[in-house]
Homo-oligomer: A and B are copies of this chain.
Amino acid sequence: MGRWQPNARGRLEKAAMELYAERGFDQTPVAEIAERAGLTERTFFRHFADKREVLFAGSAQLQDLLVEIVAGTPASVKPIDAVAAGIDAIGAALQESRGRAFARQRQSIVAASAELRERELNKLSSLAGALADTLRERDVDDPAASLLAEIGIAVFRISFERWVSAPRDQDLRVLMRESLDEVRSLAADGARVGAARSEPVGHAA
């Protein structure tokens, strides 16, 4: 590849993903990413704040989309259905933008690095925080807002992992709907233990 720079960002991303997969994230200097892409380090830093940004660049848009969809559902929609609509939208966006091959490669790169796993946890935690804020603006009280946000992000994350690791391509949105139904079944299953009543939790001890 020459020194001209059309699609510099895409070339840098491709080179970075290849190198992270081949050698590991920690062992890949920016200089080598730039070299493989046929570009300079300076160009790299015009497109990405650091090496991690290559893997996390999409997360701000994902969060904006989630918030926008949940905030935009009519007030008559039940909170859990608003959350379902939100994660459905980000699932669709993920599938359509980069697809499963990218997601799978990214997932294995993240899994191999403690630093990246921490960053991923952080990202999911701020996604849950933004979702909880949006639910509060829809007049969902706490702790319901926080709980529902955590459930939504758990459904998203666990379905995403299933999608990425499945032997064949499935629809991420179908997996998320299945997981959400699973949550409903699990929750409907046990004994109601509310503080208003007096019996102990479960009958485990």
Enumerate chain A interface residues (CB-CB to B < 8 A). Answer: 69, 72-74, 77-82, 84-85, 88, 117-118, 121-122, 125, 142-144, 146-148, 150-151, 154-155, 157-159, 162, 173-174, 177-197, 201-205
One of B82, B151, B155, B189 near A80 (C-beta < 8 A): B189
Top-5 shortest CB links A-B = A188-B202, A181-B194, A150-B154, A187-B187, A85-B204
B188 x A184 contact (CB < 8 A): yes
B178 x A204 contact (CB < 8 A): no
Residues of B within 8 A of A117 (CB): 122
Q: In the complex this chain forms, how many copies of it are found?
A: 2
List 18 A-B residue pairs with CB atoms under 8 Å apart, sorted by A's residue number. A73-B202, A77-B202, A78-B189, A79-B189, A81-B191, A84-B202, A85-B205, A121-B121, A144-B182, A147-B179, A150-B151, A150-B154, A151-B151, A151-B183, A173-B201, A184-B187, A186-B187, A187-B204
A193 x B179 contact (CB < 8 A): no
**A202 and chain B: residue at smallest CB distance:** B188
A197 x B181 contact (CB < 8 A): yes
A146 x B121 contact (CB < 8 A): no
Residues of B within 8 A of A186 (CB): 79-80, 144, 147-148, 151, 187
Q: How far is the CA of A45 from the CA of B28 in the complex (A)?
A: 34
**A125 and chain B: residue at smallest CB distance:** B121
**A150 and chain B: residue at smallest CB distance:** B154
A196 x B182 contact (CB < 8 A): no
Residues of B within 8 A of A72 (CB): 204
